[in-house]
């Protein structure tokens, strides 16, 4: 009996243990299996992304290319109308066709062609043109938007005064956003750029600085293909647009200067063709470019003189030409050419002075000879008169 009882007890214990184990196993599967599946899916996705990034990185490194930047969709780079995103202090807007300024409202959209300004030193206004695209004003600043067709995706603003900051995303595309002033235009903007604009008594002056990214500047008879980070220059223009001055403030900026048309002879065909000639000038701090223009009294072809100056203010290059006329072009007149020309002019002046001195000596000699002959004749007359007196005394 004891053996039977012990056997039954052991069997019941085994059954209870097996039931308990089975229950625990079922609970564990119900609670943990879905979590294991989720982790497996996430890890597989991460592994695929890592492999894809690794393959792209290896291919770009093999080609020597930089990682690709996030591109902005050109389908809708800007809003249909700009929006006032933020206003601190006092800001005003003038609608197209209106003559009065009204208070700008934060969060409101305004049509293209409006002018914006801030009033007061502590005022700040931010106009949003699209995702990542905005123009901010600080202090007493102002700018205006240019009207565009609804189908035109590009935007243009005109500087009017004060400090204006433009922030644009990278990869926006050429010609999508332009900043203009009477004497120049800033194109192909990427990143952040800052402008300080003011009107002078005889024209206007702008300080252009590239904070991040890059941009290009174009004007009459000059062009800057790229302005890089921390580069800054000052552009001065006269009210009649007959003078443009470029002055370097920071960085090394390559300016492409127009030198007019020149006639080039093809010795094989014996024919001449007109080609445009340019000069690349490194605009660094304290260097300058001066462009002078003049309209003739007869005709419409403008006369242009382009000059460059080094840090000491000394003339380095000069070229004068008439627009569209290759036969009216002095060509490049560098510092060496100017020195030789000055030496030749000084030599001619010295030769002319020597010739004049010789002529004066000859004239003086002739005058002395004439005076000597006059003295001799007077002496003879005196002698003859004395002889006559003696003869008269002998007669009496």
- Tens of pLDDT along 192-225? 999 999 999 899 999 999 999 999 999 999 999 9
pLDDT tens, 229-242? 999 999 999 999 99
Please tell me the distance from the alpha carbon of residue 319 to that of residue 323, in angstroms, as a whole number: 12
Answer yes or no: is 184 within a domain: no
CA dihedral (159, 73, 131, 164) in degrees, to 10, reads -20
55 three-class SS: helix
pLDDT for 66 beyond 50: no
What is residue 338's predicted lDDT score, i.e. its pLDDT?
56
Residue 381 domain boundaries? 343-396
What is residue 15's predicted lDDT score, i.e. its pLDDT?
39
Answer yes or no: is 359 within a domain: yes
pLDDT for 147 beyond 90: yes
Answer yes or no: is 185 within a domain: no
Q: pLDDT band at 359, cuts 50/70/90?
A: low
What is residue 340's predicted lDDT score, i.e. its pLDDT?
60
Residue 391, CA distances (Å) to 245, 346, 381, 396 in order:
95, 68, 16, 9
List the end-to-end C-alpha distance of the chain, in Å, as a whole number. Answer: 219
pLDDT for 376 beyond 80: no
Residue 8, CA distances (Å) to 14, 18, 82, 277 in order:
10, 15, 89, 113
What is residue 265's predicted lDDT score, i.e. its pLDDT?
85
pLDDT for 39 beyond 70: no
Q: What is the mean pLDDT of residues 311-315?
A: 95
pLDDT tens, 116-146? 999 999 999 999 999 999 999 999 999 999 9
Token pair of 219 as six digits: 């004007």
Q: 338 and 318 in contact (C-beta within 8 Å)?
A: yes
Q: 229 and 250 in contact (C-beta within 8 Å)?
A: no
Answer yes or no: is 386 within a domain: yes
CA angle 269, 270, 273 (to 5 degrees): 90
Q: pLDDT band at 59, cuts 50/70/90?
A: very low
Which one-letter DSSP state was computed for residue 333? -
What is residue 173's predicted lDDT score, i.e. its pLDDT?
84
Residue that the structure tokens 């007077």 belong to: 378
What is residue 5's predicted lDDT score, i.e. its pLDDT?
47
What is residue 358's predicted lDDT score, i.e. its pLDDT?
58
Answer yes or no: is 129 within a domain: no
Residues ≥6 apart with Cβ < 8 Å to 326: 260, 261, 262, 263, 274
What is residue 271's predicted lDDT score, i.e. its pLDDT?
86
Kind of pairing, strands 232-238 and 214-219? Answer: unpaired
pLDDT for 55 beyond 70: no
CA angle 172, 113, 96 (to 5 degrees): 170
Please tell me the distance from the alpha carbon of residue 351 to that of residue 356, in angstroms, as a whole number: 9
The pTM assigned to this predicted structure is 0.68
pLDDT tens, 100-112? 999 999 999 999 9
Other C-beta atoms closer than 10 Å to the C-beta of 164 total 23
Q: Half-sphere exposure of residue 188, counting CA atoms within 13 Å on the CB side? A: 12
Residue that the structure tokens 């009033």 belong to: 119
Residues ≥6 apart with Cβ < 8 Å to 88: 122, 123, 124, 125
Q: pLDDT band at 363, cuts 50/70/90?
A: low
Q: pLDDT band at 297, cuts 50/70/90?
A: confident
Share of the chain above pLDDT 70, in %: 68
Q: 311 and 333 in contact (C-beta within 8 Å)?
A: no
Answer yes or no: is 206 within a domain: no
Answer yes or no: is 176 within a domain: no
Other C-beta atoms closer than 10 Å to the C-beta of 239 total 13
Q: What total of structural domains would you count in the chain?
A: 1
Determine which helix (DSSP H) or strand (DSSP E) holds 50, and give its type and residue range.
helix 2-63
Token pair of 385 as six digits: 């008169």
Answer yes or no: is 55 within a domain: no
Q: 332 and 320 in contact (C-beta within 8 Å)?
A: no
Nearest to 96, CA basis, from 108, 112, 80: 112
What is residue 367's predicted lDDT score, i.e. its pLDDT?
61
Looking at the chain, which runs of residues are DSSP E strands?
Answer: 83-94, 102-103, 115-130, 133-145, 155-168, 177-181, 184-199, 203-210, 214-219, 222-227, 232-238, 243-250, 253-266, 271-283, 288-294, 303-309, 315-322, 325-329
């Amino acid at each position: 009996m004891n053996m039977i009882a012990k056997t039954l007890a052991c069997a019941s214990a085994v059954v209870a243990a097996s039931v308990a184990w089975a229950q625990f196993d079922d609970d564990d599967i119900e609670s943990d299996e879905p979590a294991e599946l989720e982790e497996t899916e996430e890890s597989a996705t991460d592994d695929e992304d890592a492999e894809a990034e690794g393959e792209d990185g290896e291919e770009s490194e093999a080609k020597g290319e930089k990682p690709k930047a996030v591109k902005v969709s050109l389908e809708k780079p800007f809003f249909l109308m700009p929006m006032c995103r933020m206003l601190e202090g006092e800001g005003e807007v003038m609608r197209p066709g209106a003559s009065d300024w009204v208070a700008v409202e934060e969060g409101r959209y305004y049509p293209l062609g409006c002018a914006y300004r801030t009033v007061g030193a502590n005022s700040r206004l931010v106009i949003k043109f699209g995702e990542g695209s905005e123009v901010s004003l600080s202090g007493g600043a102002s700018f205006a938007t240019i009207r565009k067709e609804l189908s035109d995706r590009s935007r243009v603003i005109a500087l009017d005064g004060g400090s204006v900051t433009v922030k644009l995303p990278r990869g926006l595309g050429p010609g999508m956003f332009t900043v203009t002033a009477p004497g120049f235009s800033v194109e192909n903007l990427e990143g952040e750029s800052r402008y300080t604009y003011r009107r002078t008594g005889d024209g206007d002056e702008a300080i252009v600085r590239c904070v991040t990214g890059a941009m290009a500047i174009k004007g009459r008879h000059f062009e800057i293909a790229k302005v890089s980070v921390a580069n800054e220059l000052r552009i001065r223009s006269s009210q009649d647009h007959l003078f443009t001055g470029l002055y370097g403030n920071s960085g090394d900026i390559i300016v492409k200067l127009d030198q007019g048309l020149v006639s080039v002879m093809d010795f094989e065909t014996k024919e001449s063709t007109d080609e445009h000639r340019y000069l690349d000038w490194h605009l660094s701090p304290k260097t300058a470019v001066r462009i002078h223009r003049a309209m003739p009294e007869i005709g419409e072809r403008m006369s242009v003189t382009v000059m460059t100056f080094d840090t000491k203010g000394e003339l380095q290059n000069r070229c004068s030409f008439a627009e569209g006329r290759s036969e009216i072009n002095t060509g490049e007149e560098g510092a060496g050419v100017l020195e030789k020309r000055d030496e030749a002019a000084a030599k001619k002046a010295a030769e002319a002075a020597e010739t004049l001195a010789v002529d004066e000596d000859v004239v003086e000699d002739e005058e002395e000879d004439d005076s000597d002959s006059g003295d001799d004749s007077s002496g003879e007359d005196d002698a003859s008169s004395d002889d006559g007196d003696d003869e008269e005394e002998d007669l009496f």
